Amino acid sequence: MIALLSALFLLAAQTPPGPSGDTVPAGPPDVAIALTDEEVRVTSGFTGARLLIYGVAPGYREGDDLVVILRGPSQPLTVMRKERIAGLWLNTEPASFAGAPSYYAAASTRPLHEIAPPDVLRRLGASAEYVPLRTAGVQSSDAAPMISDYRRAIIRLKADKGLYRNEAGEVTLQEANLFRAEVRLPAQAPVGDYEAQVILFRDGGAAAQTATTLTVHKAGLGEAVYNLAQNQPFLYGLLAVAAALLAGWLAAAIFARR
């Protein structure tokens, strides 16, 4: 790992640091990252994991900041408002979101509000407060306030489950502009491809960024069951029904003997 980062450092050191601002400069990035593990195996006893993300920022200057973001696979969501109508609680005013990160964590050298103004963080999606959520099928501007309420509700509920989080101070600088970030992956984190991204901030804007991927997948018996459910849902359904019938028959036979 150290040898890899040293090579990245030598390569990146040959390029001049990029300008500050929201626009990321073209050409080779001034930051690079590597993962200690490119895959996470989820077994039946999985209780979460601490992911270590290493990197190098050869263009780092005093006063700069680093933000490391880990995003889970996107999932469609439908949100509805619960209202009491004629004495019954009913779901009303549904809104669909085409894609919402199933997991999001932003580790940083300092609190994010000290690194960049809200409009920059929102544009970059560099905070759990500003996770980009794309809506689908919204035709009227009158729905904008409702959509904003739904966005805040999604972020709040995900945060309550530990799936959206900001972790200030979890990015630390080492010698030779090497940095290290630690991000916690909870037990309920979904499987799929995750993106690890690092952004170098300078003077309140993004000076450089880069990203890599890691895979979270089920292992053991859980992997076999998951793959069967995903790839052959009809067979999975038949086996589930057969297992339920067998369990019922065994229970009836045991009680009949008593």
Q: What is the pLDDT of residues 38-91, one digit of tens each?
A: 777 666 667 777 888 889 998 888 899 999 999 999 988 888 888 888 778 887
Rg (CA), the chain: 23
Q: pTM of the prediction?
A: 0.72
Do 131 and 101 meet the contact criterion of CB atoms below 8 Å apart? Answer: yes
Backbone angles phi, psi at 122, to 5 degrees: -65, -45
- What is the torsion angle, in degrees rounded to the nearest 10, for the CA atoms of residue 95, residue 98, residue 104 and residue 109? -100
* Cα–Cα dist 199/57, whole Å: 10
Region at 230 (left for phi over 0; alpha for psi -120 to 50; beta for the rest): alpha
Maximal CA-CA distance, the chain: 82
Alpha-carbon span 45 to 64, nearest angstrom: 40
Domains of the chain: 2-219 (2.60.40.1930), 220-258 (no CATH)
The tens digit of pLDDT for each residue in 185-228 reads 888 888 889 999 999 999 999 999 999 998 887 665 454 555 55
pLDDT in tens, 152-197: 989 999 999 999 999 999 999 988 789 999 888 888 888 889 999 9
Whether 114 shows a pLDDT value over 80: the answer reads: yes
pLDDT tens profile 227-249? 555 566 766 577 667 777 777 77
**Half-sphere exposure in the Cβ direction for 191 (13 Å, CA):** 13
